[in-house]
């Protein structure tokens, strides 16, 4: 498990819209309010909310501070390897396995045997 404490300034998001294939995430909103972009639409979040993001398309998310005060929250997530993070808005993935980490456009896929 990993725990991160964030103070998100007005108008900012920590990460682009994404979902995980291997790790679950939980957000606990300590102070302030904002908007959670999900695959079901935008949802308002505020102090005291606990938000659980599963490991699939249903867990797609981006937390945005849409207020004029800081949004303070804790991000708790599992740390499983390998991990694939999918960015649906930009058609990218990020792959992490041990000390290997890379981001790729899905439309640049190559045949498994190409160059072999």
Residue 54: domain span? 2-78
- Is 87 inside any structural domain? no
Residues 41-86 have pLDDT tens digits of 999 999 999 999 999 999 999 999 999 999 999 999 998 889 999 9
- Is 47 inside any structural domain? yes
Sign of dihedral through CA atoms 67, 69, 70, 74? Answer: negative
Residues 11-49 have pLDDT tens digits of 999 999 999 999 999 999 999 999 999 999 999 999 999
- Is 25 inside any structural domain? yes
How many domains does one find in the chain? 1
Closest CA to 65 of 25, 106, 19, 31: 31
Q: Which CATH number goes with the domain that contains 7?
A: 2.60.120.10
Identify the pLDDT of residue 34: 97
- Is 36 inside any structural domain? yes
Following CA atoms 28, 33, 34, 39 in sequence, which dihedral angle do they give, to the nearest 10 degrees? Answer: 50
Tell me which residue has tokens 């072999």. Answer: 116
To 5 degrees, how large is the angle CA 80–CA 86–CA 91? 160
- Is 116 inside any structural domain? no
Query: Any bridge partners for residue 64, and if so which?
Result: 13, 35
Identify the pLDDT of residue 107: 87
- Is 106 inside any structural domain? no
| This model's pTM is above 0.85 | yes
- Is 96 inside any structural domain? no
């Amino acid at each position: 498990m990993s725990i991160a404490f964030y103070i998100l300034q007005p108008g900012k998001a920590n990460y682009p819209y994404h979902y995980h294939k291997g790790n679950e995430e939980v957000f606990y909103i300590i102070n302030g309010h904002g908007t959670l972009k999900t695959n079901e639409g935008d949802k308002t979040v505020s102090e005291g909310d606990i938000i659980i993001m599963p490991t699939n398309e249903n867990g797609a998310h981006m937390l945005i501070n849409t207020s004029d005060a800081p949004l303070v929250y804790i991000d708790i997530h599992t740390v499983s390897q390998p991990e694939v993070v999918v960015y649906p808005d930009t058609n990218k993935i990020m792959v992490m396995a041990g000390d290997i980490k890379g981001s790729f456009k899905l439309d640049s896929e190559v045949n498994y045997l190409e160059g072999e």
